[in-house]
Structure 1
Amino acid sequence: MPQSPVTIPETITVHLGPPSSAAQNVTVPFADYIKNVASSEIYPTWPEEAIRANIYAQISYALNRVFTEWYRAQGYDFDITNSTRYDQSFVPGRDIFENISTIVDDMFNSYLTRGNAIEPLFAQYCNGTTVTCPGGLSQWGTVPLAEQGMTAEEIVRYYYGDDINIVRNAPIAPNLGGSWPGVTFRLGDVSEEVRTIQNRLNRISTNYPNIPKIYPVDGIYDADTERAVRAFQKQFNLGVDGIVGRATWYRIAFIYNNVKRLSELDSEGLLLDEISRQFPETLREGATGPGVQLLQYFLAIVGEYYDQLPRWQPSQIDGIFGPRTREAVEAYQRMMGLTVDGIVGRNTWNALVSTYQSVLAVQPDQGFLGEVAGLPDIFLVEGMRGEAVREAQELINIIARGYPEVPSVAVDGIFGPATRNAVSVIQSISGLPATGAIGPLTWEEMALLARDVLVSSQTSEGQYPGYPVGEETTA
């Protein structure tokens, strides 16, 4: 199966007691944590395939806690406990069995998933003697199965089902201590984090119908998103402000985990398309398309205000990731202290969007914007008001003169459903995704369409619009 996007954390933080106890937290390398758990829960004299089957379960159990942020979503500052009432046994400072250490080093970045789901399986297990767990793995039960010649893979499928997959060689990444990105999301924001919020609220709303659905799920914090956030906050007794801060972010994560049962053996499962990005995971030299063009827009605007960055001509914003774009990305990464590789991954993208927004927030000279008609100074979405919305409505009405399919709108500075609908039609005409929100590419197309309509309506002396006038034409 394709490699899952789940990463193995370099470290894991363990609470040395039940979740609500005032116990100490310890942070240890993930592999060392698994070695400790395995040495605490199983015997080194067991057949190796039995040991491996148990370690698969222990790794997957721990990764599920980290991936779903089971405890952090509840406001705790750790990933897992060492209380066997809740989690796995971990004994600080205990001796590690040599053969177990060797086996863990070989397989600590392998884990279990079920079917098409991508999250690590919540691999419930018990000792199988004093405690039994229907549907889970029996630790002592793995021994006779291994003695009968079953492999570790066959043993885990014997207990968890034939649809179990084993993901091997998963990438290792730092554990950043939670998914909260450290910023507050509100009307007008555009990011992958907003898309995550939208996806999760839509699934939660299936169980809580008073929370309205959000469509489209496009990473744009529009009026529909704000309404859904307010309804969620009201449902779960949070401050109702329509803004996703830390408390709302983690409450959404916790409720989402629960409705999908991500930390249960019969999990609904998290599919890859539920966490896929609006643009490619990375943009690099050779890439083309709207994602690259948007990247170039951001680089062009930011480049006007930072001497370390190259300047752009409008014609160079072409949606083609060539050497010039790579050099501009490298210059930006160098300026920001990021890894200088010329590749736009999550960190570079988020940093660049933040820099772009900061430049616009201080109301810079818009001379360069004027050179490329329609380059935006703000993302516009339904629910917003102001002069920028009024300007967009004026452009819509100009376009409507030349394109009958585009409905005209009231020029009132209020981005309502009519404006959203008109924008969607314009986007369809231009071959853009019909999101109904105005970002850089839509501003550009609106400006070009409006210019074409105005040019075609201009007449010289003796010219008349619409049709030629002949001698037989009557007034």
Structure 2
Amino acid sequence: MANGDLPYIPNLITVHLGKPDQEAQNVQVSFPDYIKNVASSEIYPTWPESAIRANIYAQISFALNRIYTEWYRSKGYDFDITNSTQYDQAFVYGRDIYDNISRIVDEIFNNYVRKQDSVEPYFTQFCNGTTVTCPGLSQWGTVTLAEQGYTPYEILQYYYGDDIEIVRNAPIRSNIPSYPGTVLRLGSAGNEVQDIQIQLNRIADNYPSIPKIPNISGRFDQNTENAVRQFQKIFNLTQDGAVGKSTWYKIKYIYNSVKRLGELSSEGIKYDEIANVLPTVLRRGDTGNYVQALQYYLSVIGYFNEFIPFIQIDGIFGPATEDAVKQFQSLYGLTADGIVGRQTWNKLEDAYLGIVRSLPEEYYGARAKIYPGRLLQEGMRGDDITDLQTYLSLIGRTYTEIPEIPVTGYFGSQTADAVRKFQELFGIPVSGVVGPPTWNAIANEYNAITLGGL
């Protein structure tokens, strides 16, 4: 899961039956079944129930920490956790499960421990306390405390500190790898970009040659590209300034390391580090700019695919938009629930970009092109900037409030001023950045002028 996500309980967990670098089988089991196996392998069913529960809370939180931080996947492995007690916790594939442990896990498998000022499941390190000792929880020690009348929470506080809390009834869903599936580069935008910006800025504290990104906006700007290039240089990656899969997970790995997220002394992930610049999901009843962007993508895709119904781009997520989303999801093999989460949004962008790239120049004729699929902002260059300036220049002859700009292919301060004035005139949130709603409004106005609609 991405750091921009709040923790959740995965439906399935992939366990490597050996040490990380050891050639061994991977098995996938449900998360509750995994915890039942671990608990049955590590503790005794005859222990006091308070001790059993405290240990299960620790086992759940340990596993969720590995999953949330993508501890192994960020290092290039294809599993979430190992069954080596040298690194993780015991798991004996196919073993019998104790009835009372099974009952307790069914009750609390979606609860976990965290520090009160942090988001991520706490790294609840533990050991048996007899043959092996460690700074964290002593499994046999929990028995002594339980016999003295300690509750499960008090046992956990005894080992992990008074500043812990138990998060209850965490949501349950599929474990989706954090890498968004598409390369992030100049002009990209969204929560994944914000994740990268936050992580690079924290890494820069330890690696000061990486320039700090001054504006954590979720927009992949020139400052972000510069930081990515320097990160890639330091860690011997291709210095292209773009965040593909290898760079994404290297950033994640180094971020985990400098934050010590896999240690008892973890710095923790604070809530201001996961504040989303885009809503986690869009659903019926939502309104605003992001809904307009969604409707724009659906409208363009629907123009080329008769199975997607036509919808108005009005910024209101009503029944028609929900139906269009469901049709799109069905067409692209997604759960047709009408809710736009990360998977649906990424698939929408992929489908849209496929259309953008496939349309020949002659398709447009005198009409404005469709949105190029990346945010246009100050500091950028390219053919789509030339198109934008061409459209704004013509519109500015009708709306004299829009300042005249040269068509140079470079998005400078003059172009940003012209965009802001256009947004102000046409009731669009003023940012000076061109996303789908602003581009669509500019294109519509340009078409109306050139095709005689005014």
TM-score by length of 2: 0.86
Q: What residue is the counterpart of 2:44 in the other structure?
A: 43
Q: What residue is the counterpart of 1:317 in the other structure?
A: 313
Q: What residue is the counterpart of 1:53 in the other structure?
A: 54
Cα RMSD (Å) of the superposition? 3.2
Give the secondary-structure state (helix, strand or coil) at the position aligned to 2:304.
Answer: coil
Distance 1:161 1:203, change over 3 A: same
Give the secondary-structure state (helix, strand or coil) at the position aligned to 2:15.
Answer: strand
Q: What residue is the counterpart of 2:195 in the other structure?
A: 196
Q: What residue is the counterpart of 2:269 in the other structure?
A: 270
Distance, in Å, in 2 between the alignment partners of 1:190 and 1:68 is 22
Write the deviation string for residues 186-209 of structure 1: whole angstroms up to 9, x where unpaired: 333344333322232222223222
Structure 1 unpaired stretches of 5+:
459-475
- Equivalent residues of 1:185, 1:194 under 8 A apart: yes
- Aligned length, in residue pairs: 443
Distance, in Å, in 2 between the alignment partners of 1:215 and 1:442 is 25
Q: What residue is the counterpart of 1:342 in the other structure?
A: 338
Give the secondary-structure state (helix, strand or coil) at the position aligned to 1:45.
Answer: coil
Please give the residue correspondences for 1:237-252 in structure 2 after superposition, counting only pairs within 5 Å. 237-252=236-251
- Equivalent residues of 2:237, 2:247 under 8 A apart: yes
Distance 1:197 1:149, change over 3 A: same
Distance 1:273 1:396, change over 3 A: farther
Q: What residue is the counterpart of 1:29 in the other structure?
A: 30
Distance, in Å, in 2 between the alignment partners of 1:396 and 1:210 is 39
Distance 1:288 1:151, change over 3 A: same
Q: What residue is the counterpart of 2:161 in the other structure?
A: 161
Q: What residue is the counterpart of 1:281 in the other structure?
A: 280
The one-letter amino acid paired with 2:267 is E
- Equivalent residues of 1:223, 1:381 under 8 A apart: no
Distance, in Å, in 1 between the alignment partners of 2:214 and 2:423 is 16
Distance, in Å, in 2 between the alignment partners of 1:359 and 1:172 is 35
CA shift at 1:263, angstroms? 1.3
- Equivalent residues of 1:40, 1:91 under 8 A apart: yes
Q: What residue is the counterpart of 1:84 in the other structure?
A: 85
CA shift at 1:9, angstroms? 1.9
- Equivalent residues of 2:379, 2:410 under 8 A apart: yes
Q: Does 2:332 correspond to 1:333?
A: no
Distance, in Å, in 2 between the alignment partners of 1:283 and 1:82 is 38
Q: What residue is the counterpart of 1:306 in the other structure?
A: 305
The one-letter amino acid paired with 2:262 is S
- Equivalent residues of 2:352, 2:373 under 8 A apart: no
TM-score by length of 1: 0.83
The one-letter amino acid paired with 1:282 is V
Please give the residue correspondences for 1:453-464 in structure 2 after superposition, counting only pairs within 5 Å. none
Distance, in Å, in 2 between the alignment partners of 1:124 and 1:182 is 32
Distance, in Å, in 2 between the alignment partners of 1:216 and 1:441 is 22
Distance 1:361 1:450, change over 3 A: closer
Q: What residue is the counterpart of 2:63 in the other structure?
A: 62
Q: Which has the larger radius of gyration?
A: 1
Please give the residue correspondences for 1:43-442 in structure 2 after superposition, counting only pairs within 5 Å. 43-134=44-135, 136-176=136-176, 178-312=177-311, 316-363=312-359, 370=367, 376-379=371-374, 380-394=376-390, 402-403=400-401, 410-416=406-412, 419-420=415-416, 423=419, 436-442=432-438
Distance, in Å, in 2 between the alignment partners of 1:206 and 1:321 is 42
Distance, in Å, in 1 between the alignment partners of 2:285 and 2:365 is 27
Write the deviation string for residues 373-413 of structure 1: whole angstroms up to 9, x where unpaired: 7963443244543332123335556659844xx87654311
Distance, in Å, in 1 between the alignment partners of 2:392 and 2:212 is 27
Moved more, 426-435 or 358-367: 426-435
Distance, in Å, in 2 between the alignment partners of 1:280 and 1:133 is 41
CA shift at 1:338, angstroms? 2.5
- Equivalent residues of 2:190, 2:278 under 8 A apart: no
Distance, in Å, in 2 between the alignment partners of 1:98 and 1:429 is 68
The one-letter amino acid paired with 1:107 is I
CA shift at 1:12, angstroms? 2.0
Give the secondary-structure state (helix, strand or coil) at the position aligned to 2:196.
Answer: helix
